[in-house]
Amino acid sequence: MVSSEASAESNSAPLLKDHINPQNIRLLAELIKQHQPAFPAEDFIQATTQRLHDMPLKTRVEHISQGLATFLVNDYAQNANWLKLLADNWPDKQDNNGWHSFMAWPLIDYAGKQGLQQPEVALDLLKHLTSLFTAEFAIRPYIEVHFELTYRHLMQWCHDPDEHVRRLASEGIRPRLPWGGYLKALQRDPQPIFDLLTQLKDDNSQYVQKSVANNLNDISKDHPERVIELCREWLNEATPQRRWIIRHGLRSLIKAGEPAVFPLLGYSENPAVKVELSLNQQQIILGQSVGIEATLVSMASQPQTFVVDYRVWHMKANGKATAKVFKWKSVELERGREISLSKSHGFLSLTTRRYYNGSHTIELLINGVSHAQAEVELLLE
């Protein structure tokens, strides 16, 4: 009889790292040998499967990439030629249980790391390989070491018929790419990224649109005013797809309650409202919740739309407070109308936040602007 724990484990999705396993390494070696008959496949398999079980995903990729560098002939340009042929004959994505993409990652890592001294050859190869997985990580050193050359390629790729190549142009140059480190020069001055993203702002691929939005969101963490200004320019004759990019690209600023973003999203600028805010308790113990009650009355002569959020100022150990914005509700309020809102906010013990005794301020935000506040005393016991 199978235990419920074992059954749950057997039914759970495999870890991403487990796509890179001895069986799939053998499949990769067999594919390479079809294009390079002299490739020592068994030696490669033996070297790259050793200690694989204990390695996380990226370490597995780098381990196999280094194996390729060891066992392939020491001629990068020659290897680039047959790697492009291999990419053209890559197994169907519906086959082999999803291994096809993850096993391409070590090839892309090899292409990036070993080609830095032959950037023209390497960039052409990465363009060719990116549709198999993604070359966004492999291209980062080229942006740092060979910026002018790489940037010219990226701008050209913005007009490539392959959405994977167009997406690489945006994703590869993200200044804060997850797992990819920071591009510090572009963090300081994102203008080259803006010029590139402008080429992609009306791309018809959702895959590309999401990357453009994520790129804007990255930049907004260092240059919020410049991102807001760019989005304001993009709103002129904006398509629905471009409006989606703008909204998604501003999401961190929306979450932070940045007032300047709300008019860009179609909400009323400087809404005229009378606000009353109250809490159902003035003192609570850690683990309890406080009820938030708000009444909003329109003072404008026309309908208004706005976003209602609230901000909690959490007491810290040094006696100072730090703020976190919580989303609440989008409101459409007719002339002279009133709306009442209620919300429960829990002061719960979390691993991501440590609470301290003291007064915690709760502010009501309308389009990111504070309109009222109330205080609750938090006791840890």
| Beta-sheet strand order (sheet of 273-279) | 273-279, 289-298, 338-346
pLDDT digits (tens, 9 = 90+) for 153-169: 999 999 999 999 999 99
Please report, rounded to a whole number, the percentage of residues in the chain having pLDDT higher than 90.
Answer: 85
Q: Within 13 Å of residue 218, how many CA atoms lie on the same side as its CB?
A: 28
At residue 37 the predicted structure's pLDDT band, cuts being 50, 70 and 90, is: very high
For residue 344, is pLDDT > 80? yes
Task: Look at the pTM and tell me if it is higher than 0.75.
Answer: yes
What was the pLDDT predicted at 3? Answer: 45
What was the pLDDT predicted at 4? Answer: 43
What was the pLDDT predicted at 10? Answer: 43
Average pLDDT value over all residues in the chain: 92
For residue 17, is pLDDT > 60? yes
Q: Which string of b and e fits 194-211 if b means at least 16 CB within 10 Å?
A: bebbebbbebebeebbbb
What was the pLDDT predicted at 304? Answer: 95
CA distance 166 to 147: 18
Q: For residue 15, with 0-12 CB atoms within 10 Å meaning exposed, 13-18 middle and 19 or more buried, which class applies?
A: exposed
Higher pLDDT among residues 270 and 175, named by residue: 175
pLDDT digits (tens, 9 = 90+) for 212-265: 999 999 999 999 999 999 999 999 999 999 999 999 999 999 988 899 999 999
**Yes or no: domain 4-264 corresponds to CATH 2.40.160.20:** no
DSSP letter at 90? Answer: P
Query: Rounded to the nearest 5°, which phi and psi values hold at 358?
Result: 140, 180
CA distances from 14 to 22, 62, 97, 98, 105 (A): 15, 20, 11, 11, 18
What was the pLDDT predicted at 227? Answer: 98
Domain ranges of the chain: 4-264, 273-379
For residue 331, is pLDDT > 90? yes
At residue 97 the predicted structure's pLDDT band, cuts being 50, 70 and 90, is: low
For residue 5, is pLDDT > 50? no
What tokens does 128 get? 């060719």
* Termini Cα distance of the chain: 47
CA distance 363 to 307: 14
What tokens does 261 get? 């973003």
What was the pLDDT predicted at 52? Answer: 92
CA distance 238 to 250: 15
Cα angle vertex 171, ends 21, 14, to 5°? 25
Residue ranges of alpha helices (H) inside the chain are 4-11, 22-35, 41-49, 57-71, 76-88, 99-102, 105-114, 119-129, 140-145, 147-157, 163-171, 184-188, 191-200, 206-220, 224-234, 240-249, 251-255
Task: Tell me the CATH number for domain 273-379.
Answer: 2.60.40.10
At residue 93 the predicted structure's pLDDT band, cuts being 50, 70 and 90, is: low
At residue 7 the predicted structure's pLDDT band, cuts being 50, 70 and 90, is: very low
At residue 2 the predicted structure's pLDDT band, cuts being 50, 70 and 90, is: very low
